[in-house]
Amino acid sequence: MAELDLKQPAAATRVNLAGMTRGELRAVLAETFGLDEKKARMRATQLWRWIYHYGVTDFAGMTDIAKDMRAALAENFEIRRLALVERQVSNDGTRKYLMALSPGVEIECVFIPDVGRAGALCVSSQVGCTLNCTFCHTGTQALVRNLTAAEIVGQVMAVKDDLGEWPSGGDDRRLSNIVFMGMGEPLYNLENVAKAIDVISDGDGISISRRRTTVSTSGVVPQMQALGEATSAMLAISLHATNDPLRDELVPINRKYPIAELLNACRNYPGVGNARRITFEYVMLKGVNDSDAEARELVRLLKGVPAKINLIPWNPWPGAPYECSSWERIEAFADIVNRAGYASPIRTPRGRDIAAACGQLKSDSVKKRASEARREAAGA
Ligand code: SAH
Ligand code: SF4
């Protein structure tokens, strides 16, 4: 992708407050200004509103803070956004953003209008992914590091800038839901994902509730209970197969945590019930997992689990060894699932023209590194 700097990050000499939790904000204020606990809490509450409700990036705009204090804040801190490297808008309104965490380390996130109440933002939790699901583009990307909580929140803040959605809140907002379905396996970065959800869901700030936040996992069974306890987020499971041999192949983590264990963890997910169902994602791969028999098996398997089923037409990427099931096949599969009582389960592919659809996300971090290395080797 072309590198176009829409926003330059400021020099990183001052401490960045954007993305901090309340506790972190209190601590850094107490330490910098020698405040006692009560004063630090008051100051943090004040700043919280400006940063997460009003979305200001300049201390000068914090009109209820004394002028000399504003100056002192600006001397020590900054409120910095992630660097937006590129933004693409699909003809269906989907927006894909490429953001730089540091030079050459990039992630993508995607805003999808008309999902949920108004629109969902699909955020990344890692650069790349350590798992290798065979149908997923992100899985082919080698460079991996966990995002910090601030970098996860940073995606939301940058997109709110782009949508012009400050101050936060209001019934007409476009960004109403968050899905952790971008790059990476969120349950391998649970601590930061949980911290980010704390910030994003806080009612005095961005205020996107935990019920409108969905975390998707390939099935990291030992972390599922902890996810529910720490976040109260909605859960989505990337199931994609109804028997272990096939799931072992498509979603290799299944070799560690097979389907029966995964479904058991789902039944025990904190807060699960008919009002809080688990979404099962099922990618439609031609001739691989899309037969009528498998549709019936899917229904049988999910008996007793409060479930929603989401059939995802597979999104192609260069060099992938699969094809998407035909539309007739997907509809026949969906019919069987529908007749079992699951409503309209097909997920319309969004933003395919800009490679922003599920599983097409892959930043150029690795490639860039390689080309940089070559340039350096060539003495350029
Ligand atoms: N790692 C997590 C979350 C990110 S993937 C997980 O696997 O759940 C988000 C969703 O996109 C998952 O359901 C994943 O299986 C699906 N997906 C991956 N590649 C895809 C592709 N090429 N087409 C359609 N869906 C895909
Ligand atoms: Fe990773 Fe999810 Fe892609 Fe699997 S589907 S490789 S877990 S991002």
Q: Which atom of ligand 1 is nearest to the CA of 182?
A: 4
Q: pLDDT for 101-158, tens place per residue?
A: 998 899 999 999 876 558 999 999 999 999 999 999 887 787 789 999 999 999 999 9
Alpha helices in the chain (DSSP H): 22-33, 37-48, 67-76, 149-163, 190-201, 221-231, 244-250, 259-267, 292-301, 327-339, 365-377
Characterize the bridge pairing of strands 278-284 and 234-238: parallel
- Does the beta carbon of 109 sit less than 6 angstroms from any atom of ligand 1? no
Residue 24 bears catalytic tag? no
Q: pLDDT for 83-94, tens place per residue?
A: 999 999 988 889
- Rounded to the nearest whole angstrom, what is the distance from the C-alpha of residue 80 to the centroid of ligand 1? 30
Indicate the top mutation candidate among 133, 314, 360 to test ligand 2's pocket, ranked by most ligand atoms within 8 A of CB.
Answer: 133
pLDDT score, position 358: 59
Whose CA is closest to atom 20 on ligand 1? 359
What is the dihedral angle through the alpha carbons of 49, 123, 190, 82, rounded to the nearest 10 degrees? Answer: -60
Q: Which ligand is nearest to the CA of 186?
A: 1
pLDDT score, position 4: 45
Preceding peptide of 245 cis, ω within 30°: no
Q: Supply 345's token pair.
A: 């389960």
Per annotation, catalytic residue among 108, 151, 185, 294: 108
Q: How many alpha carbons lie under 13 Å from residue 141 in its C-beta half-sphere?
A: 29
- Rounded to the nearest whole angstrom, what is the distance from the C-alpha of residue 136 to the centroid of ligand 2? 6
Whose CA is closest to atom 24 on ligand 1? 314
Per annotation, catalytic residue among 109, 122, 266, 358: 358
- Rounded to the nearest whole angstrom, what is the distance from the C-alpha of residue 128 to the centroid of ligand 2? 9
Residue 358 bears catalytic tag? yes
Q: Which ligand is nearest to the CA of 317?
A: 1
Which residue's entry shows tokens 């150029």?
Answer: 364
Q: Supply 218's token pair.
A: 């390939």
* Average pLDDT value over all residues in the chain: 89
pLDDT score, position 2: 40
Q: pLDDT for 153-178, tens place per residue?
A: 999 999 999 999 999 877 778 999 99
Which helix or strand (DSSP H or E) is residue 284 part of?
strand 278-284
pLDDT score, position 359: 62
Confidence of residue 367 (pLDDT cuts 50, 70, 90): very low
- Rounded to the nearest whole angstrom, what is the distance from the C-alpha of residue 173 to the centroid of ligand 2? 30
The letter for the amino acid at 198 is D
Angle between helices 22-33 and 37-48 in degrees, nearest 10: 120
Q: Round to whole Å and give the CA distance between 71 and 46.
A: 15
- Rounded to the nearest whole angstrom, what is the distance from the C-alpha of residue 187 to the centroid of ligand 1? 14
Confidence of residue 377 (pLDDT cuts 50, 70, 90): very low
Strand, coil or helix: 354:
helix
Q: Which ligand is nearest to the CA of 282?
A: 1
Q: Round to whole Å and give the CA distance between 65 and 47.
A: 9
Q: pLDDT for 204-248, tens place per residue?
A: 999 999 999 999 999 999 999 999 999 999 999 999 999 999 999
Q: pLDDT for 180-201, tens place per residue?
A: 999 999 999 999 999 999 999 9
Q: Round to whole Å and give the CA distance between 365 and 299.
A: 40
Pocket of ligand 2 (CB under 6 A): 129, 131-133, 136, 138-139, 184-185, 218, 238
Give me the domains of the chain, ranges plus CATH numbers. 15-78 (1.10.150.530), 83-368 (3.20.20.70)
